[in-house]
Amino acid sequence: MLNYDLVVVGGGPAGMAAALKAKECGVERIIILERAETLGGILEQCIHSGFGLTYFKEELSGPEYAARFIDMVEKTDIVVKCDTMVLDIDENNLVTAVNKKDGLLKIQAKAIVLAMGCRERPRGALEIAGTRCSGIMTAGTAQKYVNLDGYMPGKKVVILGSGDIGLIMARRMTLEGAEVKVVCELMPYSGGLNRNIVQCLNDYNIPLRLSTTVVETHGKDRLEGVTIAQVDDHLQPIESTKEYIECDTLMLSVGLIPENELTKNVGIAIDRVTNGAVVDEMRQTDHKGVFACGNVLHVHDLVDFVTMESQLAGQGAADYILGNAPAEAVYVNTTTGNGVRYLVPQRVNVKNPNDVKLYFRVGKIYKGAKVVLEIDGRIISSKKRPKLAPGEMENVIISAAELAKMDENSTITVRVEE
Amino acid sequence: MCYDVAIIGAGVIGALTARELSRFALNTVLLEATNDVAMGATKANSAIVHAGFDAKPGTLKAKFNVKGCEMMPSVCKELSVPYKNNGSLVVAFSPEEMDHVRALYERGLANGVPQMSILNEEELKAMEPSLAPEACGALLAASAGIVCPYELTIAATENAVTNGVEFRRNSKVEGIDFENGVFTLHTPRGDLQAKYVINCAGVHSDDVSRMVGDDSFTIIPRRGEYFILDKAVGNMVSHTIFQCPTAMGKGILVTPTVDCNLMIGPTAEDLPKEDEDNTATTPKGLAQVKKFACKSCPAVSTRNAITSFTGVRAHPDVDDFILGPSKVNAQFIQGAGIESPGLSSAPAIAVYLAHVVAEAIGDVKANESFNGERKDVFRFRHATDEERAAAIAKNPAYGRIICRCETITEGEIIDAIRAPAGARDVDGVKRRTRAGMGRCQGGFCGSKVVEILARELGCDINDITKFGSGSNILFNKTK
């Protein structure tokens, strides 16, 4: 059995940032376990630009953003094991992993950072009728084929879902000579970033059809076409609007699901909306010494925010390992008010001496609405925003001064006021 | 060369029959139209081993079902195929339906079904707390079970091939001539000759039968649609839950699978003949499955669905299995019209068909080297830590996880490709190993499986298909 102070599960942007921060805070023995062949996570296949604008104040591609962190990890004594899959974490923070070289690994950790990322929602979850021929895949799988393997998974493409990966792949496939016929979005608004709609669809004249879905796939061996239809207010397809579109590929970008199977096995509480762990402001779960950050905690739009969140988790893990955490913990739950789908963190230790940023998403599009932070019934902040959209993560800040005034009976609510 | 026996169709009946025939010193060939075994009704059905109370007493269905159900546990053990004796419940949701339950019980007694009992509401709900409040009683058949039909077929074929049977894929029989007591079968991969032919062609068995002039039955393709739900809800019920049957079948069932998922379905819808290979799901069918599954268990939600599929059953117009020598040609043996309870009956039908052929040939010697035990397949997810460590020490490929959701290693995928009658496409790997059958449905591992297949088969990754010709996954290289 091996002993480490900190085991980081996942070597994507979240895992690397958490490990580096913990190192910087003075944690000695750190190991990153990564299931892919290299560090970097999903960034490795995101060869488009737009990464790092917030964190590095410059525009990088995914692999460039990852490379900065990989370089930093390599300059430390953080141990990295790639091609290594974590199979289990038990309640005593004993991690079981496996790879070709070491075989089965048992690693006892003082603290653990969960940074496994997320997976794409597959076709089966969507109830699209029709055949199960080849040519139906998630946008991320297609992205891997094109950007990493160098093969085209299709020539005439329909994309269902306007999540960011779908939008990015619409442009990518077009640049590679494929014809992207349409991007369909079930909801009346896109789930992706506005900048991606402009740069990936509008710039290439790819139509985005809102309130439209794919109801049926056709083709015996390879996909030959899909039937699309508009949906009503209850998201049910409208028969009279059905339309056949010839295509050989259907790409799905219909949502991301945090990969929390390991988390659930430990018995850690999961937020039903985020599908990630319930955490405090340092991203500690309800299982002491286990932290979670990045897309395994809640799906982010921008890697920059993943990095910043993961640094918090790394700091939290370091404080825990080194005994620097606040001696006393008084937790207050954060409550979602009108229009707010979820809040991360779900609870805040009011003994924390620093400002706390609450991240959230709204349930629909608002124009000119106010974001209101209420503590103990007092309005702490109320800021008018030109636009709030489900596809763009928002935040509000609770100052350290406000925290200091709170006790175990306090309440924290974030709501949207129209 | 002239084979002693040619079996047409490598579904569960053809594969198990091939294995039974391999007990004899005979030259047997197993012909399959598609790129893999178990590609017809076998891969898409309820995966239930019925106890045998449904069929009318005196029918072939009744006889072979009860016998097959009895044989299934030992056959699965020999072939190292997962089988679970979970028992089945036919649930009544009204007092009138209780009459039906009692009638099934009586029919079961007449068919010789063991271990049946009638449960009252209290006993039933203690056993299955997730049932709807209206459930008021049930027929419990403790001998019923669940099995993985394609794994059974894959294992049976593998064992048959190990024992000397020749397996030929992509060999659709397009015509049959009979001259001087010998059949000539025309396939896209050439002609071949055989003294005896066993027709196990599923939905196509009437077409094959007509090739020798036997038009005594017609197969009506009957569509059945299903959902598979996430393992998170796999233990919602422990028994297979049937509703009271109708003329079109046994109604919508709710059942655990041997792989711990929950399955709901099927619908029953007769299709025109030309749709016999149409395995598309329909909005109407899927909606029906949802609606009726909730009648049994209100908590069933397709929000947990990981996939849906359609199976086409081979419903014969004569309403019973068609087994034994054709009236037109005694060397042409029918194993046709196999609809439910076909899977349950398969082990018994296979023994019967093999013996019909062996007796017709006469004075057949035993295959001295026959070994009915399939070589144990290493399954990382089922192994203990010690077994895992030992396996990786011997073959490091068992230490590389390819499918995260189902914990399938590269070693297992390589084994599946190299096995006798092994996988040749992505779906073949999936059925043999479960790689791609989990929550992400191959989103992560799909491209790695394509790579491993190309490497093992020595071809370009452009040539790898999902399930045989035409179902290619990739086109040209990028710019």
Same domain for B390 and B401? Answer: yes
- What is the chain B residue with the closest CA to A217? B280
Same domain for B73 and B166? Answer: yes
Whether omega before B221 lies within 30 degrees of 0, making that bond cis, reads: no
* Bridge partners for A227 per DSSP: A216, A244
Chain B residues closer than 8 Å to A146 by CB: 478
- pLDDT score for B109: 97
Report yes or no: B265 and B46 within 8 Å, Cβ to Cβ. yes
- pLDDT score for B247: 65
Same domain for B293 and B321? Answer: no
Chain A residues closer than 8 Å to B465 by CB: 134
Residue B354 lies in a domain: yes
- What is the chain A residue with the closest CA to B475? A152
Cβ distance A134 to B389 less than 8 Å, yes or no, reads: no
Q: Is pLDDT above 90 for A87?
A: yes
CATH code, B397: 1.10.10
Same domain for B61 and B159? Answer: yes
CATH code, B322: 3.50.50.60
Tell me the pLDDT tens digit for each residue of A121-164. 988 878 899 999 999 999 999 999 999 999 999 999 999 999 99
* Bridge partners for B253 per DSSP: B265
CB-nearest to A123 from B303, B389, B441 is: B441
Residue B60 lies in a domain: yes
Residue B479 lies in a domain: no
Nearest CA to B9 out of B232, B202, B229 is that of: B202
Chain B residues closer than 8 Å to A262 by CB: none
Chain A residues closer than 8 Å to B443 by CB: 119-120, 122, 137-138, 140-141
What is the phi/psi pair of residue B326, to 5°?
A: -70, 145
Last residue of a domain, one of B280, B312, B344: B312
- What is the chain B residue with the closest CA to A256? B440
A122-254 under CATH 3.40.630.10, yes or no: no
Same domain for B180 and B75? Answer: yes
Q: Is pLDDT above 80 for B246?
A: no
Same domain for B134 and B157? Answer: no
Q: In what order do the strands lie in the sheet with A412-417?
A: A347-349, A331-336, A412-417, A366-375, A378-388
Share of chain B above pLDDT 70, in %: 99
Cβ distance B469 to A100 less than 8 Å, yes or no, reads: no
Determine the structural domain holding residue B196 and report its residue range.
1-81+146-218+317-376
- pLDDT score for A218: 96
Domain A1-121+255-325 and domain A122-254, same fold? Reply is yes
Cβ distance A134 to B478 less than 8 Å, yes or no, reads: no
**For an interface test with B, which of A44, A104, A155 has the most B Cβ atoms less than 10 Å from its Cβ?**
A104
Same domain for B288 and B433? Answer: no
Helices in B163-252 by DSSP H: which ranges? Answer: 205-210
Q: What is the maximum span of chain B, computed from C-alpha positions, in angstroms?
A: 70
ipTM of the complex: 0.93
- Average pLDDT for chain A: 96
What are the structure tokens assigned to B458, written together?
Answer: 């020595």
* Bridge partners for A336 per DSSP: A414
Same domain for B39 and B69? Answer: yes
- pLDDT score for B248: 61
Nearest CA to A246 out of A221, A229, A223 is that of: A223
A399-A400-A404-A410 Cα dihedral, nearest 10 degrees? 40
Same domain for B278 and B410? Answer: no
Residue B88 lies in a domain: yes
Global confidence as pTM: 0.94
Cβ distance B478 to A220 less than 8 Å, yes or no, reads: no
Fill in the amino acid letter for B121.
E
Last residue of a domain, one of B312, B332, B361: B312
- pLDDT score for A391: 87
Number of structural domains (chain B) is 3
Per CATH, the number for A328-418 is 2.60.40.10
Residue B259 lies in a domain: yes
Same domain for B303 and B226? Answer: yes
Q: Is pLDDT above 70 for B9?
A: yes
Tell me the pLDDT tens digit for each residue of B164-210. 999 999 999 999 999 999 999 999 999 999 999 999 999 999 999 99
Average pLDDT over residues B300-325: 94
What are the structure tokens assigned to B431, written together?
Answer: 């059925």
Residue B7 lies in a domain: yes
Cβ distance A98 to B443 less than 8 Å, yes or no, reads: no
Last residue of a domain, one of B312, B346, B363: B312
A1-121+255-325 under CATH 1.10.260.40, yes or no: no
Tell me the pLDDT tens digit for each residue of B261-293. 999 999 999 999 999 999 999 999 999 999 999
Q: What is the set of active-site residues of B? A: 50
Q: Is pLDDT above 90 for B148?
A: yes
Average pLDDT over residues A43-52: 95
- Average pLDDT for chain B: 96
Domain residue spans of chain A: 1-121+255-325, 122-254, 328-418
